[in-house]
Amino acid sequence: MKVFAPGRVNLIGDHTDYAGGLVLPIALQLGTTIEGARGGDRVELTSDDADEQFSRFVDAVVAEAGSSTGFRGSVTSTLPIGAGLSSSASLEVAVALAIGATGDIAALCQRAEQRASGVPCGRMDQLASVHGRAGHALLIDCSTFSIRPVPMPDDIEIVVVHSGESRSLASSAYAERRAQLEAGDARRVRHVTTENQRVVAFADALESRDLQRAGALMVQSHASLRDDFEVSTPALDALVEELVAIDGVHGARLTGAGFGGCVVALTEPGAVALGWKVTASSGAQVLGD
């Protein structure tokens, strides 16, 4: 059988998911493919570009799934690792589908991510990978996990540009930021409150095709992640500045956890020559038996 699970890029709403806030990711056309066959009682997966984390994530999904079928096969990925495009969530969801895990796959994979990485991450990445919808962003309310697909305008391009700094959640201050937020640090709380408002305004702007407004909200989101939540880096800040100075770029911001990784930009088609052009794509699926 063959399964595919996408990575994601978040258009707006970062460091809000674990606070029960709002996020607006898209699933990508890039992701993880697993090919092989079910059978036996062990899960054995090989990968050409497996790092030391690979088997930890696979084992964590198998452990969280409890009793499940064995599987033997190979894993390939079109996602850059460490870029912040959720290569790990995409691997987890693909493994869960391959072994026939049942129930709430996104929740199961979030637990697997936390178990394997030790990072108290939220559920956005796994939800985007499972529930992605072609041509749509997903407005997710992380207090209920309800999802509203928001159609993407067709006269735009979404561009993802790597800052050159590889990002590792485990070595980052992710857990520290989350703890500060939960302790009520005023700036951290202000980021979440204002970011939630920006997500709602951004979804409205997309629906009314107000791309200038959508872009301005992205730039405000970046400033809040930089100044109030303090998860940006000089390289990410410079890249956002460089991008928004280009004609035809509506807006740009760091995306995902920060501390390195990528910037996402909303642009007129063909405005930017850098980075990867990504499209809002379908969620994880079994492609064949």
Tell me the Cα Rg of the chain.
Answer: 18
Nearer to ligand GLA, 229 or 276 (CB): 229
| Binding-site size, ligand GLA (CB under 6 A) | 10
Contact with ligand GLA (CB under 6 A) among 7, 12, 14, 260: 14
Catalytic option among 41, 125, 204, 227: 125
Residue 262 CB, nearest approach to ligand GLA (Å): 11
Contact 229, 187 (CB under 8 A): yes
Q: Which residues of 206-242 are buried (b: 16+ CB within 10 A; e: fewer)?
A: beeebbebbbbbbbbbbbbbbebbbbbbebbbebbeb
The stretch among 13-21, 32-40, 50-58, 62-70 that binds ligand GLA (CB under 6 A) is 13-21
Nearer to ligand GLA, 71 or 259 (CB): 259
Q: What is the DSSP letter of 74?
A: E
Nearer to ligand GLA, 73 or 256 (CB): 256
Give the C-alpha separation, 49 to 40, whole Å. Answer: 25
| 15 is an interface residue for ligand GLA by CB under 6 A | yes
Reference 24, options 15, 39, 37, 11; nearest CA is 11
Site string for ligand GLA, 119-148 (x = CB under 6 A): --xx-xx-----------------------
Nearer to ligand GLA, 43 or 121 (CB): 121
Reference 276, options 263, 286, 287, 288; nearest CA is 263
Contact with ligand GLA (CB under 6 A) among 17, 64, 157, 228: 17
Amino acid occupying residue 232: S
Q: What is the DSSP letter of 143?
A: T
Coil vs helix vs strand at 238: helix
Nearer to ligand GLA, 122 or 283 (CB): 122
Q: Which helix (H) or strand (E) holds 272?
A: none
| 64 is an interface residue for ligand GLA by CB under 6 A | no
Give the C-alpha separation, 168 to 233, whole Å. Answer: 13
Residue 256 CB, nearest approach to ligand GLA (Å): 4
The residues facing 141 across adjacent strands are: 22, 146
Contact 16, 192 (CB under 8 A): yes
For 55, the token pair is: 């088997």
The stretch among 46-54, 64-72, 96-104, 117-125 that binds ligand GLA (CB under 6 A) is 117-125
125 counts as catalytic: yes
Nearer to ligand GLA, 17 or 64 (CB): 17
Q: Which of residues 249-268 bind ligand GLA (CB under 6 A)?
A: 256-257
- Indicate the residue whose CB is closest to ligand GLA: 122
Point out the residues that are catalytic.
125
Interface positions with ligand GLA (CB under 6 A): 14-15, 17-18, 121-122, 124-125, 256-257
